[in-house]
Amino acid sequence: MHKIVTLESVAEIKLGMPFKSAIQDAGEQGSCYLIQTKDIGLDGILDLGTLTSVIPDGNPEKHYLFPNDILLRLRGPVFSAGIIEEGTDKPIITSNQLAVIRCNENIILPQYLHWYINSSSGSKYIRSMSEGTSISKINSKTISKMNVKLPTLEEQDKIGLINRNWIKQKITYNALIQNGDLLFDSICENIINRRALENE
């Protein structure tokens, strides 16, 4: 029987940086990249390739994110979590629409926790605790009380490796699907255009 722990006992949970005004893309002038809810897919894949570059108010340093930080969407309908796998050429921050979860890696491994939050067990807990009518939402306090199954570090490492490899495969499959959509759309458009030319 695996040990059950609360998330707050094995990880630090905090909110991202608050933004008082609408987020504006500052382009090359931006000092930080901003991860928003839209950057985390419903399947838990975090896309760092299209992040908005911003100039945040005040000092954002205490909000900087690092590899292995887990980011959890706090608004539904799907409360998926992404994980930062690598650094970028600018510091990364996130807004307070996401919870930042930083693991005590002596106890729980980030890749394992990333899998667990997105698993059927983790998703079931979050859905049961969400509140709201048209837009479901949760808060960091609720997340901190989440029960987490804690296998050995060796078992966690195996699960984390499986999760990482599956995410890589999903990214490849998604790219193939998108390229296929473009290809077949082009083929169908050519058929229509050719018919139109024949009828002229």
Q: What is the pLDDT of residues 22-50, one digit of tens each?
A: 787 778 888 899 999 999 988 888 988 88
Q: What's the average model confidence in pLDDT over 176-182?
A: 77
Task: Quote the pLDDT of residue 199.
Answer: 64
Q: HSE (CB half, 13 Å, CA atoms) of 145?
A: 9
Task: Quote the pLDDT of residue 195.
Answer: 63
Task: Quote the pLDDT of residue 132.
Answer: 59
Torsion of CA 94, 97, 101, 102, to 10 degrees: 20
Task: Quote the pLDDT of residue 123.
Answer: 86
Beta partners for residue 93, in sequence order:
34
Quickly state the pLDDT bin for 178 (edges 50, 70, 90).
confident
134-139 LR contacts (CB < 8 Å, sep 24+): 135/75, 135/76, 135/77, 136/75, 136/76, 136/77, 136/79, 137/74, 137/75, 137/76, 138/74, 138/79, 139/74
Say if residue 20's pLDDT is above 90. no
